Amino acid sequence: MFRWIPYAFVRIVLFFCAGILWAIHGAYLLSYSLSWKLFAFSVALFFILTFFRSRFRVKPGIPGLAAIFLAGFLNVHLHTSSRSDHHLYNLDSPLEYYRAVVTSTPQEKDGFWKMEVSTNLGRANGDWRQVDGTMILYLRIDRLSRPLRFGHELLVKGTPQPVAPPKNPGEFDYKQFLEFKNIYHQHFVTPNEILVVGTNAPGVLRSLANDTRSKAVGILKKYILGEREQAIALALILGVKDDLDPEVRDAYAASGAMHVLAVSGLHVGIFYWLILVLAKPFQKGPASKWIIAIISLLVLWSYALVTGLSPSVMRAVTMFSFFSLARAWNQKTNVYNVVAASAFCLLLYNPHLIMSVGFQLSYMAVIGIVTLQPRLYRLWEPDKLVWDHVWKISTVAIAAQLATFPLGIFYFNQFPNYFLLSNIVVIPGAFMVLVGGILLLGVSFSSLVAGFFGEMLGWIIKAINAMIFGIESLPFSHVENIYIDSFQCILIIGIVAMIFLFFEYKNSFYLISTAAAVVTLSLSMWIHYSSVVARPTVTIYNIPGHTAIDFAEYGKVQFIADNELMGDVSAADYFIRPNRCRQGIQKALISDSLHREFEGCTIFAWQNRTILRIHSTAFRIPNELKVDYVIVSNDAVQNLGSVVDHLQTKEIILDSSNSFYRTKTMMAESEDLSVPVYSVRHQGAFTIKI
């Protein structure tokens, strides 16, 4: 039977995480002031019961764990910047100007320089005041743009705007993503609205890390030839993914090798393994373990500095730092407690990390590897060294995939069928590129030697790419558009855990729990199918400047859109694909049987609903027409009243192909109409459920 006693720190972290999640998802159920009082009471009760344990024979564990739970809850409040009275979020009047410092390296994106900036002062109503907060600043690129750098202090004209929530069902929630980073605003500016007034780098260490990373990027770009090879080298060695083209991203994702393009546990683990291998001849005497631990910490944190102290590297380095210290302290230390201790420190520093996809995948992968890999490896122990290494890599890949596939499906809606084959290729390849890249940085003072390493790395990356693209092109390389919700994801993780515990302890309780979870999962999927997949819906999407309409039922959809959007795959993937995945749709159909064309307008008849779409200013509505809905596109209507006078309808929908000005004018006009008007551009996608 499983026992909790050896996993003391795991219990602590689980309750700490529960408190964090409670604060993030259910904070309104427990006030901030009451939580402080309950925390103080729990701590006091814990110490009282601990001191008088022998007299009362009462275990203090329950109040202790309650205090840890409340500590997690309070930690979220303490690390939520919007609670400050001086935060941008709590402004009572718009800003005329504000001062800010650039706190990230500017990135070029869609005609803008994108960067994080931290504000300190703002002017409102003619008075300067303290204004705190971090935001995303977008500076339009033109010939007058002056390149901005990390540490530049800016004077900016205008007021930052709150980040808008997603406007389409299932669309990536960029607003929530930024909120977990304590960012609530963004600001689009032109070069004449911004002025560099000085340099004020936020911290010596961050400035040093940024400069070191910039120099490393310059060296790699200088000696590694080929844009694609440079981009992969930068991603694999330094975690810089800005230059990766979509084709490379898709190929690595579809083959199950995307993890090598994000510097994380694999890369830091390679460094740690190399340190242990190189230090093995010097492991003599009791002090050698601590010397190796200190060297490990110095090397690992130096590598973190080279990568610019990116969050993913910081996570991995923190985790392996705990492994290094635990190894020096006592080699029999429970590995799960070590992992839990590293997670506790990271969440204590930033509790919102728990909502990071990288954080979740990293720790699930580590737990899977330390739990499953040794057991899988014992199933077959090859005699030959080559096969032994292949089997080790395979068991690591299988263990990590078993632990992370529920999260992978939940976040990315796909599963790579040939992940085992791709990992046999990319893990050794990542090892060679990573080691070679660090050696290249180390010998960059010699152009001849650095050129040799750069040429060698270029050929290695080309070979890896060829194999990855080959794996992606294989039949059934991956399964796409798999949808599960968060509850189903948790159930699948529980099923995997219960199956493991059953085989580990041979206890029927775990088998019964597995069966119960499977039944619950099946019921949840049936409810989703009957309420979402099988239910006919019409969705009018919010894609600025375009018309996009889905008529969906039983996993099939008929798509109506303008020609430009039909050829824009990236827009369809971002705005439309998430909702189609949720509805179980694999492919869109184009059919003429759904509609009938008139002069300047189209009538759709579907599921006992009639929808009129007006798409040209030369429209002519059939006399005495009665429809359920009217869709206005392409600024085709100048006067909504004239439309209402010629037909009967339940509601008028202004889709996102209408200009902002025309939409605003029609919304003002709609106040005098008896028919409700809905603006997709302003209010988000419109869904008709039948």
Average pLDDT over residues 52-56: 66
Query: What sign does the dihedral 570-575-580-581 (CA atoms) show?
Result: positive
Query: Which CATH number fits the domain that encloses residue 101?
Result: 2.40.50
Show which of 55, 78, 101 is a domain's final residue.
78
Structure token pair of residue 592: 């003429």
Count of alpha carbons within 13 Å of 85, Cβ hemisphere only? 1
CA gap 17, 677 in Å, rounded: 45
Same domain, 170 and 113: yes
Same domain, 504 and 635: no
Same domain, 213 and 313: yes
Same domain, 278 and 398: yes
Same domain, 70 and 120: no
Whether 83 is covered by a domain: the verdict is no
Same domain, 135 and 244: no
Close Cβ partners of 672 (under 8 Å, ≥ 6 residues apart): 641
pLDDT of 17 above 90: yes
Cα separations in angstroms, 116 against 135, 181, 203, 240: 6, 11, 15, 16
Supply the range of the domain harboring residue 500. Answer: 486-533
CA gap 267, 238 in Å, rounded: 10
Average pLDDT over residues 627-651: 88
CA gap 633, 684 in Å, rounded: 15
Query: Which has the higher per-residue pLDDT, 110 or 631?
Result: 631
Average pLDDT over residues 129-136: 92
The pLDDT assigned to 5 comes to 61
Structure token pair of residue 262: 């994000």
The pLDDT assigned to 578 comes to 92
The pLDDT assigned to 590 comes to 63
The pLDDT assigned to 421 comes to 85
Same domain, 402 and 457: yes
State which amino acid sits at residue 344: F
What secondary structure letter does DSSP report for 148? P
The angle, 0 to 180 degrees and rounded to 10, between the axes of the packed helices 335-349 and 61-78 is 40
Query: Residue 146's pLDDT band (boundaries 50, 70, 90)?
Result: low
CA gap 435, 414 in Å, rounded: 31
Q: Could you report the per-residue pLDDT of 308-318, keeping only the tens digit for each?
A: 877 778 888 88
Query: Which has the higher per-residue pLDDT, 616 or 204?
Result: 616
Average pLDDT over residues 74-94: 88
Would you tell me how many other CB atoms lie within 10 Å of the CB of residue 593? Answer: 8
pLDDT of 150 above 90: no
Query: Which has the higher per-residue pLDDT, 196 or 147?
Result: 196
Show which of 202, 222, 238 is a domain's final residue.
202
Q: Which residues pair with 595 in a beta bridge?
A: 604
Looking at mean pLDDT, say which of 121-135, 207-221, 244-258, 333-347 comes out highest. Answer: 121-135
Show which of 167, 202, 237 is a domain's final residue.
202
CA gap 606, 270 in Å, rounded: 58
Same domain, 44 and 103: no
The pLDDT assigned to 99 comes to 94
Same domain, 567 and 630: yes
pLDDT of 495 above 90: yes
Mean pLDDT value across the chain: 86
pLDDT of 610 above 60: yes
Query: Residue 365's pLDDT band (boundaries 50, 70, 90)?
Result: confident
Full-model pTM: 0.87
Would you tell me how many other CB atoms lie within 10 Å of the CB of residue 57? Answer: 7
Whether 1 is covered by a domain: the verdict is no
Query: Which CATH number fits the domain that encloses residue 608?
Result: 3.60.15.10
pLDDT of 282 above 90: no
Whether 2 is covered by a domain: the verdict is no
Question: How would you class 647 by CB atoms within 10 Å of its CB: exposed for 0-12, middle for 13-18, buried for 19 or more?
Answer: middle
Average pLDDT over residues 123-134: 91
What 3-state DSSP class applies to 663?
helix
pLDDT of 144 above 90: no
Whether 127 is covered by a domain: the verdict is yes
CA gap 113, 650 in Å, rounded: 45
The pLDDT assigned to 49 comes to 81
Average pLDDT over residues 629-650: 87
What secondary structure letter does DSSP report for 126? T
pLDDT of 550 above 70: yes
The pLDDT assigned to 611 comes to 92
pLDDT of 613 above 80: yes
Whether 3 is covered by a domain: the verdict is no
Same domain, 467 and 490: no
Least confident of 11-15, 309-313, 434-438, 679-683: 309-313
Whether 517 is covered by a domain: the verdict is yes
Same domain, 410 and 508: no
Q: What is the DSSP string of 329-357?
A: H-TTS-HHHHHHHHHHHHHHH-GGGGG-H
Give the containing element (helix H, strand E) for 641. helix 640-646
Query: Residue 344's pLDDT band (boundaries 50, 70, 90)?
Result: very high
Q: What percentage of the chain carries pLDDT values higher than 90?
A: 30
Query: Residue 597's pLDDT band (boundaries 50, 70, 90)?
Result: confident
Same domain, 289 and 404: yes
Number of domains into which the chain is organized: 5
